[in-house]
Chains A and B, each alone.
Chain A
Amino acid sequence: MSPNITYVVVAAVLVGCGVYLLLSRSVIRALVGFLLMSNGVNVLFLVASGPAGEVPILGEGDGGPIADPVPQALVLTAIVITLAMTAFVLALAHRAWQLGGTDLLDDDPESARIHRKAEANDTSDDETVQEAVDSIAAGFADEETGEERR
């Protein structure tokens, strides 16, 4: 199958621009990037669907070869989900603005803490697990404490 270069270029540019914006710290900018990427991916479906053709509706058109309907159905669901996603991310951005006065993403303190712990080789967090296992071992396997008690 021979690909349509125009589609390929459009998809690549949309995805590339989308990636650039997606890596921003502003939620809205990242969302714009995400939507550019989804437009690009939808165009990729056109690349996969082969040459342009008549509308895939029986009885319409001039009887030429029709465009592949399966990718169209896949893209249709994707478009509507993108709308739902847009609304949700905008609500998130609004909530971030309500709480912090801006839609900038700060670093996640919890992840940063884990990173510091890994740097310091600090495994004190699984102390709870360790304690539990030790208490089993202490309760069941030792006779040293028993002798002390004696």
Chain B
Amino acid sequence: MLAFVTAHAVAALVAPWLVRAVGPRAFLGLAAVPAVTAVWALTRTGAAGGAEPPTQVVGWVDQLGIDLAFRLDTLAWLMTLIVCGIGAMVLLYCSRYFADGDRAERGDIGRFAAYLTAFAGAMLGLVTTDDLLTLYVFWELTTVLSYLLIGYHSESKASRGAAKQSLIVTIFGGLAMLVGIVLIGQQHGTYRTSEVLAQPETGTPVVVGVVLLLVGAVTKSALVPFHFWLPAAMAAPTPVSAYLHAAAMVKAGIYLVARFAPAYADLPVWQVTVLVLGAATMLLGAWRALRQCDLKLLLAYGTVSQLGFLVVLVGTGTREAALAGTALLVAHALFKSTLFLTVGTIDHAAGTRDLRDLDGLGRRLPWLAGGAGAAAVSMAGLPPLLGFAGKEAAYEAFLHPEVWLSLEGATLGVLVLGSVFTLAYSARFLWGAFGPAQRTPRGAGGDWHEPAPVLVAVPVALGVSGLVLGPLAPLLEEVLLPYAAQWPEGAYPVSLAVWHGVNPALLLSVLTWLAGAALFLAREPVATFQARVPRVVDAGRGYQRIVHGVDRGALEVTGAFQRGSLPKLLGIILSVLVALLGAQLLRGVTWPSEVRWADTTGQVGVAVLVVIAAVAAVRARRRFRAVFLLGVTGYGTAMLFLLHGAPDLALTQVLVETVSLVVFVLVLRRLSGKFPDDPSVLNRRMRAVLGVAVGLVVAGAALTASAVRFRPPAAEGLLETAKSYGGGDNIVNVILVDVRAWDTMGELSVVLAAATGVASLVFLRQDAVVRVRRQLQDSWRTRTHLGPSGDGSRMWLAAGPQLEPRRRSTIFEVVTRLVFHTVVLWSLYLLFSGHNNPGGGFAAGLVCGLALALRYLAGRGYELRLAAPVMPGLLLGAGLFIAAGAALLPMLFGYQPLRTFIVDVEVPVLGNVHLVTSLLFDVGVYLVVIGLVLDILRSLGSALDDQIAAEEVR
């Protein structure tokens, strides 16, 4: 069964290409997939009805116990035939429904074909799966695909609105259902549907879960009060309506009810929900259908009504009702798809589907009229069609209540009244579609064109099959019985047949026909009456009100907090932090029983310096003073790291602080010397209060967090494994490149994104980037020309002649020339020794970046280009690529990603080289950090130089 679901998925994937290649004819090929599935299901008829139905289990998510389990019992078999049989017919119909067009139109049709085929596959999975969680996955797949199909005319606002409405309603139900599934699955200890149904529990959690399942079914099958989405969904192309909103998707709710009825139909809450909502839906839908003028809408409301009918039958939980329900399920799928496709053909041929405008189609399309006639007669419940056999069985099933004044007795009344309405709207459909026009047609005659044979043949074939199955009802009963036989036989057994002799059910049917005919003949007064009666249930408006309310709520909340001022917004966020944590701290927390004032006296000295610098930074009015004081706190923090026993941190912090200073200077040369803001006294006081409050809260949180900690540090086990498993002495570095390497990988991505952001904020246009590329190419050429014997060797820096004499500093150039290569070598040393000594990719990259910064400061952009004639993007990309490669490489050999290997290699001259594969990862880190610094120097350095120079010229 998994193979067939997969086949649908593959067909959906290739559908766009197929349509692009051969046009709408591609639907013929796509139709073969469900057709083959249906034929396969037919060959399994006997097995499905047997004691051991065909099953298939493939493991999927073992950790969660989710399997791709499939089970083809009678109900699944029936639904498979409906889903795939009608699916194949609808796809066949589509091959001529869509006119072939240009490339763009073929693209649209291809998308449509993919969605429709995928939908058939999802639906097939939904009805055959035996795992509750997989069922949910397929369920939501059908929801999403239905959304895409309803919104097919994406340029139409109504279409988009309808699609969104159906999505919100059915997703709401789906999520409720998921909660129900989890409740049921956890209580039973299994998510296998057949196992749950074999031994159903009845505790309160299970009852709640069952109710939530019903919510899912009710939304999907468009029962009151969620019925409103279905008529609106008629914005979809007609084949979609025929398939999703008549034969398949809306039946998913019916399927769910039918699936769980054998286990839970006895629950009182189930009985009330199913019977009351089903009966109300049946009446409401039929009543509304009576007054529709759009044929498609008439059918849509008719579908709502029939879904209510079906839910009542399959949800009641007796053998008789279940038999009638499954028979009507088949009948409904056949006649409703026939009628929808008929409307599609009429719309196609006549250019309208308003029943008041259609004139004389019975003469023009006699075959179509015949097929639709058979279907409508089946819908109305007249002999000898399958619809009649089903309805007769339904009457019979409810005809023997113990007490007439009961839910069951009332249900029979509703069924009869609903059937009266059904007959009347069936007649209205036939008369409207194929009878004479009821008003002067408005230009409909001119649009007429003969429909393609397929557009007539498909509905006729479906309609005739209902006619054939009517007399064959006893055979159908035989294959459906294994499902209904899950209940014991009642006192008044029911059988499916067109003729049972004269009995109360037949008399009730005759009564239905007479009343229905009268209702149809009296349609004018009825319409007048309907117009006068106020709409009692208007769930559509209720839905709109809820959506509107959410919009209003969002506006109020946004308006209340988004004042447009960033300081205010940050103030609100920080106030919440203070209020929540502060309240908890004041209410009483565990305070530490003992404290250490300091570990060493050196700490206290550094701390005093840092505190003074921080307070002074707050008071600074000049930018450079603030940045300098910030640097003091940074270097002080590095000192604290060193005293704490964290040399890696101290090294990196010092390097970062230095690079930061360079970056600040590069940007601040453009800005004014003093800070431009001069806040009021009140403003400053409020900020000071908030600052003190946040500081106190942080201190309190730090103290109490230390006090309540009782676990030993997580690093204890690392001391041994760092060497044996990670292959390094420096535990911090082993953590970075091995234990928490995914974290480092994420960080590299952030660095890359930030660097790209910096470049794009400075190089605003593409031509600026192109200019830089050209300059880089020049640099390459210069490098190759400046050999050891060239002019270059006589200068300290290659950029020397390019610089303005008054900006040159010979000492700086000499120092740069002397230390550059040494510093780069040092960075390589840090990189390679970092696994065992302080260093590693981060520190090494920063050192190399500082060497580049030196070259830039001495010789500006020209010198920088000579020093590193590559685009920073290349380094960033290559670094991330290498790091990701190091992560994925072990997977090729069947190990966990990022697994470290330790290799000792004998190299002739160097001797024994101890290689650890995580070094490769560190090389990636190294390149990304160099890329970041180079990017900063290029963007905020030389690009700004160029801008300044350009301004001076102007």
Contacts and interface: CB of A to CB of B under 8 A. Distances in A.
Q: Do A and B come from one complex?
A: yes
A2 B594 CA distance: 6
A148 interface: no
A32 B231 CA distance: 59
Contacts of B611: 9-10, 13
Contacts of B571: 23
A12 B235 contact: no
B769 interface: no
Interface stretch (B374-382, B711-719, B782-790, B823-831): B711-719
A56 B731 contact: yes
Interface string B600-637: 10011001001100110110000100110010011001
A72 B842 CA distance: 13
Given A114-B555, A143-B293, A24 B531 contact: no
Contacts of A49: 644, 713
B522 interface: no
Contact of B699 (A8, A83, A116): A8
A20 B677 contact: no
A147 B715 CA distance: 80
Contacts of A30: 566
Interface string A75-99: 1110111111111101111110100
A24 B567 contact: yes
A111 B690 CA distance: 24
Nearest to A95: B761
B652 A79 contact: yes
Contact of A119 (B559, B570, B688): B559
B598 A136 contact: no
Interface in A42-77: 42-44, 46-60, 66-70, 72-73, 75-77
B714 A70 contact: yes
Contacts of A128: 157
A59 B356 CA distance: 94
B929 interface: yes
A129 B695 contact: no
Contact of B744 (A35, A75, A77): A77
Interface in B731-763: 731-732, 735-736, 739-740, 743-744, 747, 750-751, 754-755, 757-758, 761-762
A150 B574 CA distance: 65
A98 to B, nearest CB: 8
Given A52-B644, A90-B667, A123 B744 contact: no
A6 B757 contact: no
Contacts of A107: 563-565
A121 to B, nearest CB: 8
Contact of B567 (A23, A79, A117, A133): A23
Nearest to B577: A19
Contacts of B668: 28
Contact of B603 (A6, A35, A72, A123): A6
A125 B940 CA distance: 41
B698 A69 contact: no
Contacts of A82: 656
A25 B706 CA distance: 36
A129 to B, nearest CB: 7
A129 B940 contact: no
A28 B702 CA distance: 29
Given A7-B640, A32-B617, A88 B731 contact: no
Contact of B735 (A73, A95, A114): A73
Interface stretch (B396-404, B543-551, B863-871, B897-905): B543-551
B640 A3 contact: no
A25 B679 contact: yes
Given A28-B623, A92-B761, A36 B699 contact: no
Nearest to A93: B667
B554 to A, nearest CB: 9
A77 B736 contact: yes
Interface string B146-169: 000000000001101110010000
Contact of B618 (A20, A91, A132): A20
B932 interface: yes
Contacts of A141: 231, 540
Contacts of A115: 559-560, 562-564
A104 B574 contact: no
A115 B558 CA distance: 7
Contacts of B648: 72, 76
Nearest to A103: B671
Given A52-B643, A87-B663, A47 B702 contact: yes
A19 B667 contact: no
A67 B649 CA distance: 12
A5 B755 CA distance: 38
B713 A5 contact: no
B150 to A, nearest CB: 11
B659 interface: yes
Most buried by A among B559, B562, B570, B664: B559
Contacts of B954: none
B567 to A, nearest CB: 5
B355 to A, nearest CB: 11
A126 to B, nearest CB: 5
Contacts of B754: 81, 84-85, 87-88
A67 B653 CA distance: 18
Contact of B939 (A21, A52, A91): A91
B552 interface: yes
B729 interface: yes
Contacts of A22: 570
B597 interface: yes
A36 B215 CA distance: 53
Contact of B694 (A16, A51, A67, A83): A16
B677 A146 contact: no
B105 interface: no
B944 interface: yes
14 contacts: A6-B597, A16-B694, A17-B618, A32-B626, A52-B603, A56-B645, A58-B729, A79-B649, A81-B747, A91-B758, A91-B940, A118-B555, A123-B552, A136-B165
Interface of B: 157-158, 160-162, 165, 231-232, 234-235, 291-294, 297, 356, 439, 527, 531, 540, 544, 547-548, 551-552, 555-556, 558-560, 562-567, 570-571, 574, 592-600, 603-604, 607, 610-611, 614-615, 617-618, 623, 626-627, 630, 633-634, 637, 640-641, 643-649, 652-653, 656, 659-660, 663-664, 666-668, 670-672, 675-677, 679, 687-688, 690-692, 694-696, 698-699, 702-703, 705-707, 709, 713-715, 718-719, 722-723, 729-732, 735-736, 739-740, 743-744, 747, 750-751, 754-755, 757-758, 761-762, 836-838, 842, 846, 929, 932, 935-936, 939-940, 944
